[in-house]
Amino acid sequence: MLQSRGKLIVLAASTSESTEYQRSTWRQMLLATLPDKYARIMGTDWSTAVEVNPDGTAKYVPNGLRVIEALLARRFGEENVAVCYPDQLPLFVGEDTRVIGVHAHNPLGITFATDVYAGFYGRDCEPINAAEFRRLIHHPVIDQHRHHLKLIVGGPGAWQIAHKGLQAEWKIDTIVDGEAEEVAVDLFERAIRGEPLPARIECKSPKLESIPAGINRSTFGVVEITRGCGRGCQFCSVALRAGKSIPLEHILENVRRAVAQGADTITLCTEDLFLYEQGKRFTTNLPALKRLFESVAAVPGVKHIMMTHGTMAPVVVQPEIVEELHLAVDKSVNQHPASTHPEHRYAMMFVGLETGSVRLFKQFMKGKSYPFRPEQWPDVVLKGMEIMNRANWFPMCTFIIGLPGETREDTKQSLDLLFALKDAKWCVIPTLFVPLEDTKLATKDGAKIARLTDLQWEFFFTCWRYNIDFFRRQRSVHWKFNIGIPIYYYLLGRKLFGPAMKWPLFRLAHFPEWILRRKLYLDFSNGAKPVYTTPAEVPIPEERRRPELPVLS
Ligand code: B12
Ligand code: SF4
């Protein structure tokens, strides 16, 4: 009966932002980049693979929406809040519904590394994420009940809708930017009363006590362990979030609940793993981290532990960290023949390397290398990679192409660093600079794929050449790919992006180096030496040495 009249509050997330297909965060990330138009041909229609509970609610949705659900259920009662995917909206939206809250991780696919790739297939291609979000926001049942309900959109990518001027067209009453713990309840109360709402709300970082434990499971068993990061990179939207560590008991409560609801994989979500219960000035608290991993692994039913982000500098300061956190490898979902672990498992963590140019590093992200100096960045990266790889940590690293004011010399320095990482065990994702709202670089121009220089293209495709060589499993696929690339270039690539992409693209197709070395900056032929080499050690500047490091208990 209640279902036919609908729920007072309905919360929804798109399928492509919720799927945990094959437990692969990597696959879900692809949905931000692969073109929707060719999803069927490319075999990526699994993007909509999500699981539904018997009552029609969603089994898992992004963690941010679960936080909102917990806050609203506490205030309005669990029976008045339903969380679902688009296809189930008709089960929950009805005469009694007063507000629909939608989560947006990457609703238009215009953040780092996203529309870039869809663009390769033609100008009219949008990423799967964008198409799926559109399917949610234009659901006919929302229109049908529009006259008696409010539509509120929040989440890390909500800004994209305002940025593209789509708020009015999509009839969204309010866009909520930032952490919503201390505004959500009041906003939804006003919506339920039918009061006019502000078009946009900017939230401040909440107090630690305002962050509720979840009630239901999030996608990939995401459980927050820290929030915020004080390193202050100017391009980063979470740089402004106040840093805090979530208490262990709160974390474990979320883990137990996720497992009770069917998750066997827990993702420890953080801006920087090494900030968890940090000491002064970013000092890693290894005992606390060990306790965290051991406690999570000890929860019955936890089979795998995954991580989100981390930085390189702490690993170089204390190389034993990655050895001591061996559970990150033992419990990892990921396997690769290059791992020396008995089951060939490797720990994967997202690490932002962003540039090899010391000049750009100093200008935009100097806190990232602390306690090392910005000038030591290439050494920190190389040493950190060596330490991680030895312990079977194969990071997924990002670089940003086209930071404001990037010169050819800057790109060459990034290429030099990339060359020195040629034999590393890693995945490297080139992204294009996007001026995210709420960041210090918000007013700068974003990098445009159609305007990349030959050197930037070389950086872009050298990254993918590394990834293909490291992750490719079947030789037959490899040869088809190599032949397909020149065909793509002459049929489409040349028209879309011009000749600057040609030789870099041919490196991706494994053209012989004796041809490429005359056309490209990096020389991959035997005997060519990189400018940078991994140093024996990276000294911490005297004035930045820490008095104490927490001792292992
Ligand atoms: C876990 C995670 C992932 C996981 C899982 C994602 C998922 N769909 O569940 C994986 C690795 C798969 C992933 C992928 C991607 N991610 Co991601 N991800 C994160 C991460 C690390 C944590 C998210 C989280 O749980 N945060 C904690 C919660 C509490 O915060 P929150 O989600 O922002 O929610 C709060 C508010 O936004 C708001 N809110 C959220 N929902 C709603 C709904 C309503 C109605 C309201 C009112 C408010 C509200 O209130 C919440 C509480 O404060 C964040 C970084 C971060 N620390 O936030 C990046 C982040 C969100 N991801 C980001 C990006 C770019 C992506 C990708 C596009 C990356 C790529 N290029 O491939 C893909 C997109 C994948 C997809 N299909 O959508 C960016 C977003 C940038 C932006 N501002 O546009 C972030 C901020 C990372 C970064 N620093 O760049 N991601
Ligand atoms: S270290 Fe990472 S999370 Fe912290 S401010 Fe820089 S980019 Fe953002």
Calpha distance 262→104 (Å, rounded): 24
> Is 235 close to ligand 1, i.e. is its CB under 6 Å away?
no
Calpha distance 510→75 (Å, rounded): 59
- Percent with pLDDT over 70 in the chain: 93
Is omega for the bond preceding 371 within 30 degrees of 0, making it cis?
yes
> Is 239 close to ligand 2, i.e. is its CB under 6 Å away?
yes
| Amino acid 82: pLDDT | 98
Calpha distance 59→80 (Å, rounded): 17
Average pLDDT, the chain: 92
pLDDT above 80 for 211: yes
Ligand 2 binding pocket mutation candidate from 111, 231, 349, 434 (most atoms within 8 A of CB): 231
pLDDT above 50 for 6: yes
Ligand 1 binding pocket mutation candidate from 106, 186, 201, 273 (most atoms within 8 A of CB): 106
pLDDT above 90 for 551: no
Mean pLDDT of 375-388: 98
Mean pLDDT of 189-215: 95
Residue 23: left (phi > 0), alpha (psi -120 to 50), or beta?
A: left
* Beta strands in 127-236, from DSSP E residues, in sequence order: 150-154, 174-177, 200-202, 222-224, 226-227
> Is 31 close to ligand 1, i.e. is its CB under 6 Å away?
yes
Tens of pLDDT, residues 266-291: 999 999 999 999 988 889 999 999 99
Calpha distance 104→444 (Å, rounded): 23
| Amino acid 553: pLDDT | 40
> Is 237 close to ligand 2, i.e. is its CB under 6 Å away?
no
Ligand 1 center to 62 CA (angstroms): 8
> What's the pLDDT band for 116 if we cut at 50, 70, 90?
low
CA angle 61, 251, 341 (to 5 degrees): 85
pLDDT above 90 for 151: yes
> Domain map of the chain by residue range?
2-208, 311-516
> What's the pLDDT band for 552 if we cut at 50, 70, 90?
very low
Return the ligand number nearest the Cα of 239.
2
- Percent with pLDDT over 90 in the chain: 79
Domain 311-516 fold is: Transcription Regulator spoIIAA (3.30.750)
Ligand 1 center to 263 CA (angstroms): 19
pLDDT above 50 for 1: no
Q: How remote is the C-alpha of 54 from its chain's centroid?
A: 30
395-424 burial: b if 16+ Cβ within 10 Å, else e: bbbbbbbbbbebeeebbbbbbbbbbbbeeb
Provide the β-strand partners of residue 396.
350, 427
Give just the sign of the alpha carbon dihedral 422, 424, 426, 428: negative
Contact 374, 362 (CB under 8 A): yes
Ligand 1 binding pocket mutation candidate from 59, 81, 105, 434 (most atoms within 8 A of CB): 105
Reported pTM: 0.93
Calpha distance 247→448 (Å, rounded): 42
